[in-house]
A and B are shown apart, each in its own frame.
Chain A
Amino acid sequence: SQKIEQNSEALNIQEGKTATLTCNYTNYSPAYLQWYRQDPGRGPVFLLLIRENEKEKRKERLKVTFDTTLKQSLFHITASQPADSATYLCALDLGDFNKFYFGSGTKLNVKP
Chain B
Amino acid sequence: KAGVTQTPRYLIKTRGQQVTLSCSPISGHRSVSWYQQTPGQGLQFLFEYFSETQRNKGNFPGRFSGRQFSNSRSEMNVSTLELGDSALYLCASSLVSGSSNTGELFFGEGSRLTVL
Contact = CB atoms under 8 A, between A and B. Distances in A.
A89 B42 CA distance: 10
A61 interface: no
Contact of B48 (A34, A45, A99, A102): A99
A44 interface: yes
Interface residues of B, number: 27
Contacts, number: 67
Interface stretch (B13-21, B75-83, B104-112): B104-112
A31 B100 CA distance: 13
A46 B26 CA distance: 14
Given A97-B56, A100-B45, A105-B42, A46 B105 contact: yes
Interface residues of A, number: 25
B90 A95 contact: no
Contact of B42 (A97, A98, A103): A103
Given A44-B107, A104-B42, A105-B42, A96 B90 contact: no
* Chain B facing A: main interface SS: strand
Contacts of A44: 43, 90, 105, 107
Contacts of A103: 42
A42 interface: yes
Nearest to B3: A43
B101 interface: yes
A97 B48 contact: yes
Contacts of B43: 44, 89, 91, 100, 102
Contacts of B31: 97-98
6 contacts: A36-B105, A45-B107, A96-B56, A98-B33, A98-B94, A99-B45
